[in-house]
Amino acid sequence: MLSFPHMIKRYWGLAKNSSIQGCVSSGWLETSAYTFPWSLKGMRMIILLACIAVLCGLLYGYNEGVIAGAYEPIKAEFEFSAYWGGLLVASLSIGGLIGAYLSAYLSDRFGRRSTVIIAALFFITGAVLSSVAQDLFILTFARSLIGMGIGLSSMAGPQYVSEIAPRKIRGRMLGAFQFMISFGVLIGYLSNLITLDLGYSAEAINRWQFMFLLSAIPAAFLLFGIWSAPESPRWLVMAKRSAEAEAVFEKIEPTRSEAWVKGNVKRIEQDLAEVADQKGGWLDLINPRNRPITSFCVFTFLFQQLSGINAVILYAPELFGDLGFSEEASRLSATVGLGAALALAAAASLLLIDRVGRRPLMVYGLPACALSQFLIVGGFLMGDGIGTALSVSGLCLYVISYSLSMGPLPWVYMSEVFPNYLRAKGMVVAVTVNWVFTFLVVFGFPKLNQLFTITEIFLFFAICCCIGTVYAIRRAPETKGVSLEDIYELFHKGDSKTAERPVAGE
């Protein structure tokens, strides 16, 4: 048996001889012709990119989750109808849809980085306006501005990261966006619980105003971070600024050779030249070349929303109330626990998405969501006692299964699969499904809860997850480790034209 010093010596020798292959196999490090993938300068750039993805997701999740606890204090102050209540909650989705469509124009015209800067300004403006709102109309308008920030950043943020991050960690970077959505939801839930002692109002600032104002802090950090970051090299090539694109690649991966940098830029130029006869208009998304990609992204987001996640996240306190949690503090505490399970599972997905791959997570995650929803239905049918425990267990299992699969995967796929010249518009079409169905669920769930029982609603969600499983088995590709310029081949394996396409960066 080897002693500890001998073990260290042995494995250090193996690491030197294999260029840290053990780390490479885990997906954390990327190597090809060099021993260590990133210098200190390159690592700083990777951290900056990660922070941008993290903050975009955090702002999305926080502003979505905070309304769960702010709703009752706002209702107590303004005494609005159910229609206005639904509109207040859904205003985030309305703004998100507008922001997503603005992003399609802004990110192609002015660049991905500039679009994220505009999103950060929307976040800050909306947060400050929410904190001083004195009537429901102003508050709804302010929430719409925040929604526009979410729409812009949820499009341009993943798009920017997917186009600039090294391919071996691209999935993890994009997964960080979804992880921080989940973590942001948890922070929103925690702010609801922590500020509970403030009561529904205070002399200086209302409880709900304070919760909304808090989101201005990460928005300011996002503005500072993206201001310091370079533009997407792929957008720079599209804008005929190839020399600047080469400089960005050198910053991101400074240990790469000059030949690799120039070859990567040339590969992007070739990819754009192949579609030079296409104008990159909306109709190009449904031509025979791109229709499989567009339909896959649309259906992926469709099944994400029909899994019922927004009904759980936004109305979690009400669901726990139906399960017998009568006190507001107990409902909010249970909601925080649910948010913690959501965030922890999302963190685990960061380790799995580039190691296990995208397809297995989708194929196994959807049936796990369906199973958990059947448990929720069974618990509600059984009633108090064991039934309550079963439903709570089902809710926890559901958010865990969702965070490991349908939480990050639609965002990752959407950011990867569209060709460079159509990525902005393609992402808009895909994310429109997200915002439309988010609006329908958020605005319609209270009314649906009156027309149907909670068991019937979750049974519908479970059936949708079963249908989604069949679709995933038939259609979901594996994009792990594949260059953005080569993902097209996964949707056209029988197309002879793809056989001669070189691999980017090789």
Tell me which residue has tokens 């056209």: 492
How much helix, strand and coil, in percent to the nearest 5, is found in the chain?
Answer: 80, 0, 20
Q: Which residue has the higher pLDDT, 412 or 197?
A: 412
**Interatomic CA distance for residues 248 and 296, integer angstroms:** 31
Kindly report, residue by residue over 300-309, the tens digit of the pLDDT: 999 998 998 8
pLDDT mean over 291-307: 92
In a domain, residue 16? The reply is no
Most trustworthy range by pLDDT among 118-127, 135-144, 164-173, 264-273 = 118-127
DSSP state of 20: S
Spatial contact of 165 and 173, defined as CB atoms under 8 Å apart = yes
Here the tokens at position 485 are: 């310029």
pLDDT at 387: 84
Give the distance from CA 492 to its chain's centroid: 27
Cα–Cα distances (Å) from 390 to 383, 395, 452, in that order, read 10, 9, 21
As a whole number, mean pLDDT of residues 166-174 equals 75
Count up the domains in the chain and report the number: 1
- Residue 20 inside a domain? The answer is no
Q: What is the pLDDT of residues 266-289, one digit of tens each?
A: 888 887 777 665 666 788 888 888
Neighbours of 224 (CB within 10 A): 12
Q: Please determine, for residue 141, whether its predicted confidence score (pLDDT) is greater than 50.
A: yes
Is 11 among the domain residues?
no
Per the domain annotation, does 55 fall within a domain? yes
Residue 131: φ, ψ to 5°: -75, -15
Supply the pLDDT for residue 333: 77
Q: What is the mean pLDDT of the chain?
A: 79
In this predicted structure, what is the pLDDT of residue 446?
67
Of 235-244, 323-332, 357-366, the poorest mean pLDDT is in: 323-332
Here the CATH number for the domain that contains residue 274 is 1.20.1250.20
Q: What is the pLDDT confidence band of residue 16, given thresholds at 50, 70 and 90?
A: very low
Note the pLDDT of residue 504. 39
Residue 210 belongs to a domain: yes
Of the spans 262-266, 405-409, 468-472, which averages the highest pLDDT?
468-472
**Tens digit of pLDDT for each residue in 420-479?**
778 878 888 888 888 888 788 777 766 776 778 888 888 999 999 999 999 999 999 998
Of 137-141, 162-166, 285-289, least confident by mean pLDDT is: 162-166
Cβ(201)–Cβ(73) under 8 Å?
A: yes
pLDDT score, position 299: 94
| Assigned domain for 475 exists | yes
Q: Average of pLDDT values for 118-123?
A: 95
Mean pLDDT, rounded, for 157-171: 78
- 144 vs 36, more confident: 144
What tens digit of pLDDT does each residue of 35-50 get?
A: 344 455 557 777 777 7
> In the chain, what percentage of residues exceed pLDDT 70?
83
Domain region containing 102: 40-498
Q: Is there a domain that residue 2 lies in?
A: no
On the question of pLDDT at 25 being above 50, the answer is no
Q: Identify whether 10 is part of a domain.
A: no
